[in-house]
């Protein structure tokens, strides 16, 4: 299985680098179950030659799960090369989804290694160093990612794309009701005109961003993995993803938690 996992990961990495899409992995490389799917994803850092700097969660809302036809959220690895500075101009070259997702992300201050007993939310909160507004530009290597199926989506790193993490929010975030915390996002075209505005709340992330982070800690623990000190954990979009195109600028206002902005190019 290890050889097939690396072969599948190499194919998906080549697609990522070239911006091409496939209908499905070849039958001999296609994961038959989630165990094989996770093995393919685990091979990605070695195949890519880039270290893991954190994790993402895909499909944290019921609508997102229905859209890609999965029965729950999916974890994905964030590689060092996927992270760009907030405020930078991010390239959309090869990206076919053409959406941006305002997210709640955490930076871990202490590890949460695999263990038998599940982590409680208080355990997870105590391990967090900081909260950050973030953007993800997700993408998939499958031409019809909504019908690729759970196993192939996991193999494809849960549609992991590019990330921009904003500055740490003030420490008072720990006293806030993150589920009710509102975020407003605006997309402006190259001419400076507003093309779209949208609002969302933290409750879109499995009911609460901390609930989503706790899910991630326990999901990784069940896989024999864990969150490390210094890892990013981006816990999913807080609103319906925003359609974007080259030349756009996207601003997300998290109120007391901060504001972040990125530009987009071809």
pLDDT tens figures, 161-218: 999 999 999 999 999 999 999 999 999 999 999 999 999 999 999 999 999 999 999 9
What tens digit of pLDDT does each residue of 216-233 get? 999 999 999 999 999 999
In a domain, 104, yes or no: yes
CB 134 within 8 A of CB 82: no
In a domain, 251, yes or no: yes
Average of pLDDT values for 99-114?
98
In a domain, 236, yes or no: yes
In a domain, 230, yes or no: yes
- Between CA 249 and CA 265 the distance in angstroms is 9
Global pTM value: 0.96
Residue 16 has a pLDDT of: 96
What tens digit of pLDDT does each residue of 124-140 get? 999 999 999 999 999 99
Residue 81 has a pLDDT of: 96
CB 82 within 8 A of CB 161: yes
Task: Calculate ∠ Cα 49-54-37, nearest 5°.
Answer: 70
In a domain, 250, yes or no: yes
In a domain, 40, yes or no: no
Contacts 24+ apart (CB under 8 A), 18-22: 18/94, 19/93, 19/94, 19/95, 19/96, 20/94, 20/141, 21/96, 21/140, 21/141, 21/142, 21/143, 22/141, 22/142, 22/143
Share of the chain above pLDDT 90, in %: 95
Determine the structural domain holding residue 137 and report its residue range: 51-265
In a domain, 150, yes or no: yes
CATH no. for residue 172? 3.90.850.10
Short-list 174, 195, 168, 179, CA closest to 260: 168
Reply yes or no on whether the pLDDT at 257 is more than 70: yes
Q: How many domains does the chain have?
A: 1
Reply yes or no on whether the pLDDT at 1 is more than 60: no
Residue 46 has a pLDDT of: 97
Reply yes or no on whether the pLDDT at 87 is more than 90: no
Please provide the average confidence, as pLDDT, over all residues in the chain.
96
In a domain, 45, yes or no: no
Reply yes or no on whether the pLDDT at 30 is more than 70: yes
CB 196 within 8 A of CB 242: yes
Banded model confidence at residue 62, pLDDT cuts 50, 70, 90: confident
Residue 215 has a pLDDT of: 98
CB 204 within 8 A of CB 97: no
């Amino acid at each position: 299985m290890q050889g097939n996992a690396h072969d599948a990961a190499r194919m998906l990495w080549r697609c990522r680098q070239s911006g091409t899409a496939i209908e499905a992995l070849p039958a001999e490389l296609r994961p038959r179950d989630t165990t094989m799917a996770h093995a393919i994803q685990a091979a990605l850092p070695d195949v890519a030659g880039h270290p893991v700097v954190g994790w993402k969660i895909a499909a944290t809302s019921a609508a997102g799960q229905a859209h890609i036809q999965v029965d729950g959220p999916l974890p994905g690895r964030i590689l060092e090369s996927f992270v760009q500075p907030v405020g930078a101009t991010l390239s959309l070259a090869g990206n076919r989804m053409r959406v941006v997702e305002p997210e709640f992300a955490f930076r871990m201050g202490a590890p949460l290694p695999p263990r038998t007993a599940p982590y409680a939310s208080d355990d997870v909160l105590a391990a967090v160093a900081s909260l950050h507004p973030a953007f993800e530009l997700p993408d998939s290597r499958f031409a019809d990612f909504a019908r690729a199926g759970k196993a192939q989506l996991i193999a494809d790193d849960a549609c992991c794309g590019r990330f921009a993490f904003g500055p740490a929010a003030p420490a008072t975030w720990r006293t806030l009701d993150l589920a009710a915390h509102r975020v407003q996002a605006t997309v402006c075209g190259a001419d400076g005109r507003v093309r779209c505005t949208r609002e969302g709340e933290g409750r879109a992330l499995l009911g609460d961003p901390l609930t989503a982070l706790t899910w991630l800690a326990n999901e990784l623990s069940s896989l024999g993995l864990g969150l490390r000190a210094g890892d990013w954990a981006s816990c999913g979009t807080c609103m319906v993803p925003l359609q974007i195109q080259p030349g756009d600028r996207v601003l997300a206002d998290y109120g007391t938690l901060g504001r972040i902005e990125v530009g987009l190019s071809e």
